[in-house]
Amino acid sequence: MAGCGWNLADPVSICASACQTPGGKAGMDHEDLRHWSKRAADWAADYHAGLRDRPVRAPLVPGAIGRHLPAAPPDLAEPIETIWADFERIVPDGMTHWQHPRFFAYFPANAAPASMLAEQLVNAMACNALIWQTSPAATEIEQVMVDWLRQALGLPQGFVGTIHDSATNATLSAVLTMRERALAYRGLDDGLSGGPTLRFYASAETHSSVDKAIRVAGIGQRNLVKVATDRDRAMTGDGLRAAIRADRAAGLFPAGVILCAGGTSIGAFDRIADCLAVCLAEGVPSHVDAAWAGSAMICPEFRELWAGVEAADSIVFNPHKWLGAQFDCSVQLLRDPGAQVRTLGLRPTYLETAGREEIVNFNEWTVPLGRRFRALKLWFVLRAYGLEGLRTRIRNHVRWAVAVRDRLAALPGVEIVTEPRLSLFTFALANDAATEALVSRINDDGRIYLTQTRVDGRFAIRVQVGSFDCRAEDVMLIAKTVEEMLA
Ligand code: PLP
């Protein structure tokens, strides 16, 4: 290809200038990016405007997309026009559309437009906020945003925190910290062998990220005690106390409790106040997983569900689920960060900031060193919609979930298996086979997307309402679709 070889007379020029290909200019510089970013913004607006016309879930079989791509990477630069055309041809139809207003599966991963705008700016600066000095604004806006969210959730002064990529990493950080508190921080130097058998406690309703944290932290799955729940699938203070005391009597070391505030399957809440009272009385630290439901706590009327939470040592919630700050954005609030920083913090010479001992280096609060500037999207979202705007959305979602639950309950053959917790409930038909067939038909149809769970062994269909742009009629389409399929 002309112009793409080594220029021995001027080696600096190699690939510094774009090459011409038969299809147009290859490579991309910042002036090209100016043009293509505008195209991308137009594309994004059209994509969002057209979402209701797309099936929510990608109607594909595995391998359908991969086979469109060459097996080997290109040796020569290609024009961006070609790459763009391939993107339009292959990718959008190969996606499950998480921003679709009729996405009722899993939990949402909302991206409010203001959040997307902030991410574009972060994208342009492409910083690594690993220490204060490498991105002072990222660190300081993160501190303020965590405090804004603390206030928004109604938590007392004194809680501080940080932003992780995921609740999984926040919970891992909390488990590592509880482990080290139990070991008087000896595990950091000596490792775990020869130490006491550490025990952790959670209900079976907690997310699998808790199991993963326990495994990764070297605790061992069998030392995660799944405490029995009551008929609301809540861990109780009595159950927790009995489990802790039985372990102590057996010579084991209770090291930490993970409480469930809005479980993934059916939205279960442990008896938070009672369990945390037991934690305090027994001297066992605690972490609350409110990854989904935490966002709803900006509405004072829902706070009863996690009453007493201010006694927790650590709380995680994901603004990337229900608050509109797009993936990834998981906030961990800590009553005292000292133990976590002692557990996770390392400050080799190359990460020091000379003469600045007072600064916060957030990598010392988290597992990864490198960090994205996640606070900017919170700043944009909280200001662009205001807490009242965000509350209105969440309140609507909860109201519409209750309304569609009533519509479904009125259909012959449909049984509500679990009642709405916030905006999540489950329903089923007379037997598992019929319910499984129904959810498959619904998702193949594509107008709505629902997922499934098991409740006491029974296969049930989950409905969660939380899409940022959904309307009442989108939610009511759930009942209409089910009605049509049962007719
Ligand atoms: N906790 C709960 C209750 C969840 O529902 C989820 C994911 O949906 C997680 C934790 C894990 O979240 P992440 O994907 O941020 O790791």
Domain assignment of residue 65, yes or no: yes
Provide mean pLDDT across the span 20-32: 75
Q: pLDDT band for position 263 (50/70/90)?
A: very high
- Shared domain for 141 and 231, answered yes or no, is yes
Residue 129 maps to a domain: yes
26: pLDDT confidence band, cut at 50, 70 and 90? Answer: confident
Domain boundary among 381, 405, 434: 381
Residue 483 lies in a domain: no
Q: Do residues 67 and 126 share a domain?
A: no
- Rounded Cα distance, 1 and 293, in Å: 57
- What is the position in ligand 1's atom list of the atom closest to the CA of 293? 3
Residue 378 DSSP code:
H
> What gap in Å lies between CA 306 and CA 304, rounded to an integer?
5
Q: Is 11 a domain residue? A: yes
Q: Domain of residue 63: give its range.
A: 6-94
75 lies in a domain?
yes
CATH number at residue 11: 1.20.1340.10
User: Which runs of consecutive H residues, i.e. helices, occur in 133-182?
Assistant: 136-152, 167-182
pTM for this predicted structure: 0.93
- Given a cut of 80, whether residue 158 has pLDDT beyond it is yes
Q: Where does ligand 1 bind, in terms of residues with CB under 6 Å?
A: 107, 166-168, 207, 209, 262-264, 289, 291-292, 318, 330
Distance 372 CA to ligand 1 centre (A): 19
pLDDT digit string (tens) for 416-426? Answer: 999 999 999 99
Last residue of a domain, one of 381, 415, 447: 381
DSSP string, 388-427: HHHHHHHHHHHHHHHHHHHHHHTSTT-EEEEEEETTEEEE
Residue 146 counted as domain residue: yes
Strands (E), 220-280: 224-227, 253-260
Are 89 and 218 members of one domain?
Answer: no
Q: Average pLDDT in the 213-224 region?
A: 98
Ligand 1 centre and the CA of 255: distance in Å?
22
| Candidate of 107, 165, 207 to mutate for ligand 1, largest count of ligand atoms within 8 Å of Cβ | 207
Give yes or no for a contact between 375 and 141, defined as CB atoms under 8 angstroms apart. Answer: yes
User: Binning pLDDT at 50, 70 and 90, where does residue 56 land?
Assistant: very high
* 332 C-alpha to ligand 1 centroid (Å): 13
Q: Tell me whether residue 124 is in a domain.
A: yes
Distance 91 CA to ligand 1 centre (A): 26
- 278: pLDDT strictly greater than 70: yes
> pLDDT-derived band of residue 484, with 50, 70 and 90 as boundaries?
very high
For the chain, give the mean pLDDT: 93
The SS3 assignment for 451 reads strand
Count of domains for the chain: 2
Q: Do 134 and 77 share a domain, yes or no? A: no
* Per-residue pLDDT reduced to its tens digit, 97-112: 999 999 999 999 999 9
Residue 51 shares a structural domain with residue 127: no
Domain match, 268 and 130 both: yes
CATH of the domain at 141: 3.40.640.10
In which band, very low, low, confident or very high, does the pLDDT at 203 lie, cut at 50, 70 and 90?
very high
33 and 163 assigned to the same domain = no
- Of 314, 349, 381, which closes a domain? 381
Tell which atom from ligand 1 comes closest to the C-alpha of 206: 3
Pairing type for strands 330-334 and 415-421 reads unpaired
Strands 24-25 and 20-21 come out as antiparallel
Whether 123 and 54 share a structural domain: no
Is 288 in the same domain as 214? Answer: yes
Q: How far apart are CA 174 and CA 39, in angstroms?
A: 43
Predicted pLDDT at 351: 86
Tens-digit pLDDT profile for residues 326-344: 999 999 999 999 999 999 9
Q: Kindly report the protein residue whose alpha carbon is nearest to atom 12 of ligand 1.
A: 167
Q: In this structure, are 44 and 185 located in the same domain?
A: no
From the CA of 350, how far away is ligand 1's center (Å)? 34
How far does the centroid of ligand 1 lie from the alpha carbon of residue 139, in Å?
A: 24
Considering the domain architecture, whether residues 83 and 123 belong to the same structural domain is answered as no
Q: Which atom of ligand 1 is nearest to the CA of 170?
A: 16
Is position 225 within any domain?
A: yes
- Compute the distance between CA of residue 330 and CA of residue 311 in angstroms, rounded to an integer: 20
> Is there a single domain that holds both residue 297 and residue 362?
yes
Single-letter amino acid code for the residue at 136: P
3-state secondary structure of 148: helix
